[in-house]
Chain A
Amino acid sequence: SQKIEQNSEALNIQEGKTATLTCNYTNYSPAYLQWYRQDPGRGPVFLLLIRENEKEKRKERLKVTFDTTLKQSLFHITASQPADSATYLCALTNSGYSTLTFGKGTMLLVSP
């Protein structure tokens, strides 16, 4: 069956460090992969999208990698800040489909 797995345990890091979140998937042939941020009581907010033929994408302090051989994406936040504390969701679209399937998310806690 198709699965998108994100670490269910919260990631605790200190301010200034790099946070790395993992998204693994099985039985997908994703056309592209997306990362979202969700704050408590709010809807998800789109951060980055990476296509299947791209290995890396950057936006300010954010970096996403996409390894279709390992079936894994890594999401990095450099120089993390307490304001980066949130739940981060990975989402995939299969080739030929128009809908997004989401992972369950990983909570990131950045302490001062």
Chain B
Amino acid sequence: NAGVTQTPKFQVLKTGQSMTLQCAQDMNHNSMYWYRQDPGMGLRLIYYSASEGTTDKGEVPNGYNVSRLNKREFSLRLESAAPSQTSVYFCASYPSSGPRGYTFGSGTRLTVV
């Protein structure tokens, strides 16, 4: 099915470990986004990439890095995981011709112990 694919779906990390969350879209969208969702906080933007080759910080970028590998793929890296990064992470994409809605992936549930 066309859409946004995120891997893994679940992950448990120990404090200080690193990991990369993967996101790929097959809709030829230009823009891609990483959000985190916490109870009572809603969705908050971590980083985004308006087009291939560009990345920008969102509302809560500290502790994260991103890579726009190509037009399809946008990864989120936690270099040294902290318990405060326990959250559900969503990747989304958006076409250049708009305005339209975002297409979201199904999320990665990350627990840092």
Contact = CB atoms under 8 A, between A and B. Distances in A.
Contact of A103 (B42, B58, B100): B42
Contacts of A89: 42-43
A34 interface: yes
Contacts, number: 54
A101 B92 CA distance: 13
A108 to B, nearest CB: 16
A44 B93 CA distance: 12
A39 B19 CA distance: 27
Given A42-B107, A44-B104, A102 B42 contact: yes
A105 B101 CA distance: 16
Nearest to B41: A104
Interface size class of B (residues with CB under 8 A): 20 to 34
Q: Give the dominant DSSP class at A's interface.
A: strand
B48 A99 contact: yes
A82 B104 CA distance: 24
Contacts of B100: 46, 49
Given A31-B99, A44-B90, A51-B99, A99 B45 contact: yes
A43 interface: yes
B42 A46 contact: no
B101 A46 contact: yes
Contact of A42 (B92, B94, B99, B106): B106
Interface of A: 31-32, 34, 36, 41-47, 49, 51, 89, 93, 98-105
